[in-house]
Structure 1
Amino acid sequence: MFAGVDIGGTTTQVLLCTADLAVIDSTEVSTPAREGGQAMVRAALDALSVLRARVPSRLLGIGIGAAGVVDSRAGRILVASDSFRSWAGFEVTATVEKALGVPAFLDNDVNAFLRGEAAKGAVVDEPYVLGMTLGTGVGGALRLNGELLDGPHGAAGEVGHIPGFGDLPCTCGGRGHLETLASGRSIRARYGERTGRLLTARGVAEAAADGDPDALAVYEAAGAGVARAILITAGLLDITTVVVGGGVSRAWDLIQPPMLAELTAGPPVSGHPIRVVRARLGSGAVAIGAASRARTELDAVTRV
């Protein structure tokens, strides 16, 4: 069996799955993000120990999806947001391999999300895909000709930090990035600026569903911004499909209409429409995708 781990800023999800990625068991624990990398990995390993006690099959490998820019080849975190302490530079795979004695593989969490949706979710057999997660931040990943593209610095596909979306400060230190419009944090902030009310993104979505014009305007700007990022990506890389996940995507009825309107008003230069789908695997996509990476890497070693 294989293990998949999703280390997020708030929660860490751990699962065990078969070779065909059928989930056997799973659990979720709080992420000790302010306690540093060692504590974060220890929390994941402790959760995995509980699962392994319940499912005493042989563990072949483990994949980890982690927030931040990662060096997937070296297995360490390169850049992390200010939500984490002592995470940037942390040697994730070396720490996990020492603890478990099995091969470990690291991915950026959005890359793992796209791996999961391509293996078992909404974009199976789709070769040219942009994956987007709209959560606390906005993440992106690219699948080109059936292969995940991470780039020389691990930052390929990071559409959340494309500039040209106004002049608001972004959490990364830049300005005018897509994340300032379409993340859960920014939806909350933009609504607060308009109304003086501090609601969660879900609360803003509920207000929009009740017809609140300010809430509707915030979600309209978010959806239109996502569409513009899709069009930029399509113009550069000729993607055919986009899969959207993350907590903000739960408000699909609010995000989708302005997104599709923008895509219709300014279609990609190819003249071919882009298919936009909602993620199918829900909160398990990253962990499943991480396990998929471990399975793929070990299959390649076996074939050699």
Structure 2
Amino acid sequence: MFAGVDIGGTTTQVLLCTPDLDVVDSTEVPTPASEGGQAMVRAALDALGVLRARVPARLLGIGIGAAGVVDSRAGRILVASDSFNSWAGFAVTATVEEALGVPAFLDNDVNAFLRGEAAKGAVRGEPYVLGMTLGTGVGGALWLNGELLDGPHGAAGEVGHVPGFGDLPCTCGGRGHLETLASGRAIRARYGERTGRLLTARGVAEAAVDGDPDAIAVYEAAGAGVARAILIAAGLADITTVVIGGGVSGAWDLLQPSIRAALAAEPPVSGHPIRVVQAGLGSGAVAIGAASRARTELGVVAQV
């Protein structure tokens, strides 16, 4: 049995799965983000303890997906947002291994998302994939030749913070990043600027479905920005497929047309069309991908 953990700013998801990555049991608990790394890991371990009591099988390893910039080799958080207290610098895998006595592995949450979708989700078996998550922020990851490319600093594929998407200030301190157009926070802000009304991204989506031209325009701009990021990735890495997840992707019927229209108007340099799909694993993608990392690192082969 493998465990997968997704430590987010609000909630932590924990699951147990077979070597085939079939989920046997799962739970979700609040993340004590303001209480520091020790409390956050303890909350995840306590939740895992509940699952193990219900599923008394041998635990082979555990994978953890976490928001922020991580050193996946050292198993440590490098940079975290101000939503977390005493998280940057925290030795995640060492703490987990000491508590459980089994190997532990850490990934950035977007990398774990893409691992999950490539192993068990919408792009299963695809060799060249860009993964994107459109949530509070915008994250990206690359799957090349059947393996995750994380780069020497863990930042490969991070299309959400590549400049060239206008001149709006980004939450990271930069300007003109994709996150200023396609994140949930940006959709809310852009709609507010146009109308003076403050709605959530979901509220803006509902308004667009009802025919609100300002809401439609905001989602069209988000989709066009996503398409431009896809073209940049295709030009650099010759990706063939894109999988998009995160809360904003729930408005798929609003995003997909503008993405497809932009890609049709300006095809990738390869001349071959790019397949763009919505994530298939939903909110469980990060935890499943984290468990997949543990399975791969330990050399366990799925049963066929």
Partner of 2:73: 73
Shift of 1:194: 1.1
Partner of 2:175: 175
Q: CA RMSD for the aligned pairs?
A: 1.0
Deviations 1:101-141 (A, max 9, x none): 11000001011111101111111111100000001110000
Partner of 2:272: 272
Partner of 1:295: 295
* Structural mapping, 1:217-228, within 5 Å: 217-228=217-228
Task: Spell out structure 1 runs of 4+ moving beyond 4 A.
Answer: none
* Structural mapping, 1:183-198, within 5 Å: 183-198=183-198
* Structural mapping, 1:56-205, within 5 Å: 56-205=56-205
Q: Is the 8 A contact 2:71 2:77 kept in 1?
A: yes
Distance in 1 of aligned mates of 2:234 and 2:216: 27
One-letter amino acid of the counterpart of residue 250, structure 1: G
Counterpart of 2:277 in 1: which secondary structure? Answer: strand
Distance in 2 of aligned mates of 1:117 and 1:243: 8
Aligned length: 301
Q: Is the 8 A contact 1:81 1:171 kept in 2?
A: no
Runs of at least 5 residues in structure 1 that lack an aligned partner in the other structure: none
Partner of 2:4: 4
Shift of 1:84: 1.5
One-letter amino acid of the counterpart of residue 12, structure 2: T
One-letter amino acid of the counterpart of residue 240, structure 2: T
Shift of 1:9: 1.2
Counterpart of 1:157 in 2: which secondary structure? Answer: coil
Shift of 1:300: 6.8
Partner of 1:256: 256
One-letter amino acid of the counterpart of residue 35, structure 2: E
Q: Is the 8 A contact 1:81 1:172 kept in 2?
A: no
One-letter amino acid of the counterpart of residue 175, structure 1: R
Give the fraction of aligned pairs with identical amino acids, expressed as a percent. Answer: 89
TM-score (norm 2): 0.97
Q: Is the 8 A contact 2:19 2:300 kept in 1?
A: no
Shift of 1:151: 0.3
Deviations 1:187-237 (A, max 9, x none): 111111111111111111001100011111110110000000000010111
Distance in 2 of aligned mates of 1:80 and 1:180: 19
One-letter amino acid of the counterpart of residue 79, structure 2: V
Partner of 2:55: 55
Deviations 1:7-50 (A, max 9, x none): 11111100000111110000011111122111111111111111
Distance in 2 of aligned mates of 1:63 and 1:33: 19
One-letter amino acid of the counterpart of residue 292, structure 1: S
TM-score (norm 1): 0.97
